[in-house]
Amino acid sequence: MTTVANHSELTPLRFLQRSVEVYPGKEAIVHGARSYNYAQFGVEVQQFAKALSARLNPGDKVAVLAPNIPEMLMAHYAVPLAGGVLVALNTRLSARELAYIMEHSEAKMLFADTELLATTATLRTEVPTLEAVIEITDTEFGGTRPDVVVDGTYADFIALGAGPDLPYAIADECAPIALNYTSGTTGKPKGVLYSHRGSYLNSLGETFHQGFDARTRYLWTLPMFHCNGWCTPWAVTAAGGTHLCLRAVREEPVWEAIDGLGVTHLCGAPTVCSIIADAPQAHALESSIKITTAGAPPSPAIIRKLQKLGIDVVHVYGLTEVYGPFTICEYQDSWDGLDDDARAERVSRQGVGMVQAESARIVDMDMNDVPADGVTMGEIVLRGNNVMIGYYKDDAATEAAFSGGWFHTGDLGVMHPDGYIQLKDRAKDIIISGGENISTIEVEQALASHPEVLDVAVIGVPDEKWGETPVAYVIRASGSTLDSKTLAAHARTQLAGFKVPKTIHFPQDLPRTSTGKVQKNVLRENV
């Protein structure tokens, strides 16, 4: 640790330290019948971290598979406090997908919620580095416990934490704090490393742009496993706000929270916007709420619905590789004079760089900026403190992503004359459904593994609820009577449910180029 008086290493651990000092008796976390003030939040994090530190070496990975419950929030502080690197796992993945990520990350410990234990049953034998599976028991879960053997419970584990408090400080702000996985474009998830410095700065950007303060009551509709909840586990704590945890995002509990818990802010993909706007319980609010949305661009229709309810929509854009949001559609007062449709169209743009980020660029193949005419398309490239350290154990992919000194998103967009970017297409056919990336190649490989499938192409089509949804075009083997129900069931053995196409067509042939490549643009045009 440096002893220089004018320098300290940046880490979001400092946010909890400060809020414990400043707001010890203030409500920090609410989850059903459970609640914690900031002093209790700090005590449990310290106890959790002390128990971990007895098992970890610096840099060891600790995985957590849980919904948006207090224990997942605690892990965002306890794991790095103990010197570890947090791997927050997607709760919607299949056992096969989890096994790949656990093995690739070399996770040493896994904390798993009771409801999700079934997908962890074989991990101890499949992942050489995994030493323990610890069960998180949540009283808000009322289902049946799967018959899975574990190495103990979270409560028993943290009870082992003893000794003096660990310092909320680190030796190197550029060291990893978290390892997140994204589907990428090859079907194999890539591990994205976040640093303490990047997480700290991105959290402050979230705090600034979302307007968090000590009066904030943040409803957890955005998964904490997704880009570490866009760094919001750290951002809300930095402001001294209150985390309102939620096991599942459904119409009734969301509106119950809005009406009963004094929600001021929430985040989510367009599907969350749809759940709120289209719910039977939806009604105009006495006090406005701010919802920050990203993933697929929100439709102007949904934006209009939310605005009529008294919900302000903030549109952001980013990727896992840039800690979540990187650009924001900053609202301009001049838009007040526009009609509803024109204003909603402006709000749906991806906007400008956030305060902690550099300005986004739209470039051609030679890294030259395209004309700012709102028409000429190019690739969106980004740079700044909130760009990942790199891809874990994949130097070649990191070098390619950082070509020319900028991070290449693979997304195509245009630059408007006012300097606002707008996403137009995805260069590599990624589908964004409910805010989660779906690799078309991964889905195609799962469908093609059925013995009666000769060829397959998967595209994303617009969906009012999910933003986008996968649709498959399958060529069957001669004489096959394979139907969509049977093929979907087969795909579910290899894929998370949200990745399985609900619509499967069985054409006689697929449109192809002269070189044999499937013309997915033709398929999209014919939807």
> Binning pLDDT at 50, 70 and 90, where does residue 428 land?
low
For the entire predicted model, the pTM comes to: 0.83
Per-residue pLDDT tens digits for 462-515: 888 778 899 999 999 888 999 999 999 999 998 988 999 999 999 988 887 433
* pLDDT level of residue 212 (50, 70, 90 thresholds): very high
- Residues contacting residue 506 through CB under 8 Å, at least 6 positions apart: 473, 474, 475, 476, 482, 484
Rounded (5°) CA angle 66-71-73 = 95
Domain boundaries, the chain: 433-525
CA gap 348, 318 in Å, rounded: 14
228's CB contacts (< 8 A; 6+ apart) are 76, 86, 88, 178, 180, 194, 199, 234, 323, 324
What CATH class has 433-525?
alpha beta
Its sign, for the CA torsion 166, 169, 174, 180, is positive
Q: 141 vs 70, 80, 156, 166, 223, CA distance in Å? A: 13, 27, 19, 32, 17
| Token code pair at residue 66 | 């849980």
Measure the CA–CA gap between 405 and 407, rounded to whole angstroms: 7
How far apart are alpha carbons 171 and 510 in whole angstroms? 56
Tens-place pLDDT, residues 316-355: 999 999 999 999 999 999 999 998 778 877 887 899 999 9
- The reported pLDDT for the residue numbered 113 is 98
Convert the pLDDT of each residue in 2-43 to its tens digit.
568 899 999 999 999 999 999 999 999 999 999 999 999 999
pLDDT score at 3:
66
In this prediction, residues 357-363 reach a mean pLDDT of 96
Residue 278 CB neighbour total at 10 angstroms: 13
Place of tokens 């030796």: 171
